[in-house]
């Protein structure tokens, strides 16, 4: 049987209405996005890790950064995420693409490895493996492994701009049409906010890195939970913001589309 090729794709833009240039914010002397890249590079099943950014002038600094750091990238549409994913996969040649958003510097590599292994062991065709069909993980721990053949087909068949932008939600909203595997956490931690949208989120993440990174640069979810249990004041830093901002924004736009 031919070995399947997996690539890691970091979906990244410099523009952010809440925290401009958040992906380049400094954490322990490195840009936030570089920490994500280094985490994904640790995953042995990924043949390479690339950026999927845009061709807008605002993302030129990100492209220059990628060139400087020798990180491969594709620059395409701003809002047509399906097109951007398709062209990224087509450029870098893969069977499956792991997608991570560039505002998730606490992503757990062991969790992703578990997901990739499930895909590799599955006999039936998998269209998507994720951990957020049902949200049980902290916001910022989400990942999606897409079958690139399915992405190709959807790139031809999905016409509505709204769903091309929200292609992950298209899978979830039409899950009866796809073979989707969802990884659930034993405990529902979906109320925890570990992503970066606001300056308080960044401050929270910096505290996590300052305390855990020196001992293990690839600390995971269990390490973070243990640290926060011992230091509950850290969780208060960004507690004024909901962990449901992303899905609430999707639902609002879906209603108005």
The confidence score (pLDDT) of residue 99 equals 99
Task: List pLDDT tens digits, range 221-245.
Answer: 999 999 999 999 999 999 999 888 7
**Domain regions of the chain by residue span:** 6-191
What crossing angle do the helices spanning 221-230 and 199-212 adopt, rounded to 10°? 100
Please indicate, yes or no, whether the overall pTM of this predicted structure exceeds 0.75.
yes
Please give the Cα distance from 142 to 223 (Å, whole number).
Answer: 17
The pair of structure tokens assigned to 217 is 């640069």
pLDDT confidence bin for 1, thresholds 50/70/90: low
- Pick one of 3.30.930.10, 3.40.50.300, 3.40.980.10, 3.90.550.10 as the CATH number of 6-191: 3.90.550.10
For tokens 């091309």, the residue is 164
Task: List pLDDT tens digits, range 80-131.
Answer: 999 999 999 999 999 999 999 999 999 999 999 999 999 999 888 999 999 9
């Amino acid at each position: 049987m031919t070995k399947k090729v997996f690539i890691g794709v970091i979906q990244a833009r410099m523009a952010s209405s809440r925290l401009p240039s958040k992906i380049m914010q400094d954490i322990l002397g490195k840009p936030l996005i570089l920490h994500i890249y280094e985490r994904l590079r640790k995953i042995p099943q990924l043949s390479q890790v690339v950026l999927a950014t845009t061709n807008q002038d605002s993302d030129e600094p990100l492209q220059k950064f990628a060139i400087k750091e020798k990180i491969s990238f594709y620059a395409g549409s701003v809002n047509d995420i399906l097109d951007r994913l398709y062209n990224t996969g087509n450029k870098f040649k893969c069977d499956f693409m792991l997608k991570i958003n560039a505002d998730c510097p606490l992503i757990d590599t062991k969790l992703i490895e578990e997901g990739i292994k499930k895909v590799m062991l599955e006999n039936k065709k998998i269209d998507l493996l994720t951990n957020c069909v049902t949200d049980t993980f902290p916001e910022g721990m989400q990942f999606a492994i897409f079958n690139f053949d399915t992405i190709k087909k959807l790139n031809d068949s999905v016409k509505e701009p709204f769903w091309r932008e929200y292609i992950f939600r298209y899978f979830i909203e039409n899950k009866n049409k796809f073979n989707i595997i969802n990884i659930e956490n034993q405990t529902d931690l979906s109320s925890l906010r570990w992503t970066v949208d606001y300056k308080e989120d960044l401050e929270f993440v910096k505290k996590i890195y300052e305390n855990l990174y020196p001992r293990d640069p690839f600390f995971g979810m269990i390490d973070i939970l243990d640290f926060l249990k011992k230091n509950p004041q850290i969780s208060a830093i960004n507690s004024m913001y909901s962990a449901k901002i992303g899905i609430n924004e999707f639902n609002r736009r879906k209603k108005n589309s």
